[in-house]
Amino acid sequence: MIVRNRTTLAHTVVDSPIGPLAVVADDAAIVAVHFPNTPLRDGEGGPRDDDHPLLRQAAEQLAEYFAGERTAFDVPLAPAGTPFQLAAWTALRSIPYGETVSYGEQARRLGDPNKSRAVGAANGRNPIPIIVPCHRVVGSNGHLTGFGGGVEAKAWLLDHEQRVRLAL
């Protein structure tokens, strides 16, 4: 078993339209989501436990999201990061479903319009993508830029949210 800060980690794998997602939880919250192109290294997410209550909850919510039945997540989260990263990730959760903001706009919302590069770096380290929607941040010209799951996955997620939003 993997222990992190006296907490046991476990993971499950969730099938999705963008590939299998490895979801990692500790005893109290979801701590990571890994894209297919950034799989768990041996032992990194603890043993697989498809019956872990938080992992089941996250898997259900992700399935609902991908089915177009969920626009917000309420599973408990515990990302590890610096105070600035945590603030950036909290700001991500305020971007409405199906909408986008630029890195500059996210920096303005954090109180310093000159920190768009720092925001980009923080978003790039977001350990809980999709649930913490870093895919909703785009370049100032509207172009899709860097994304841990790949630009194709980012495009799919944004298109999916737009389709669902229009159907609501």
Complete domains list, the chain, with CATH: 3-66 (3.30.160.70), 83-167 (1.10.10.10)
- What pLDDT is recorded for position 44? 79
The band of 8, judged by pLDDT with boundaries at 50, 70 and 90, is confident
The distance of Cα 128 from the centroid of its chain, to the nearest Å, equals 4
The band of 71, judged by pLDDT with boundaries at 50, 70 and 90, is very high
Note the pLDDT tens digit of each residue in 83-123: 999 999 999 999 999 999 999 999 999 999 899 999 999 99
Tell me 159's DSSP state: H
pTM of the model: 0.92
- When computed from its CA atoms, the radius of gyration of the chain, rounded to whole angstroms, is 16
CB 34 within 8 A of CB 45: yes
What number of CA atoms fall less than 13 Å from residue 40's CA on the CB side? 22
In the predicted model, what is the mean pLDDT of residues 33-60? 90
User: Hey, which residues are catalytic here?
Assistant: 134
Is the pLDDT at 49 greater than 90? The verdict is yes
Please state, in angstroms and rounded to a whole number, the distance separating the CA atoms of residues 124 and 112: 18
CA 108 vs CA 54, 58, 79, 113, 117: distances in Å: 34, 31, 22, 4, 12
Please state, in angstroms and rounded to a whole number, the distance separating the CA atoms of residues 124 and 135: 10
Please state, in angstroms and rounded to a whole number, the distance separating the CA atoms of residues 149 and 131: 13
Q: List, as one string, the DSSP characters of 15-81.
A: --TT--EEEEE-SSSEEEEE-TTSPPPTTTT-SB-TT-HHHHHHHHHHHHHHTT--SS--S-B----
- What pLDDT is recorded for position 5? 57
Mean pLDDT of the chain: 91
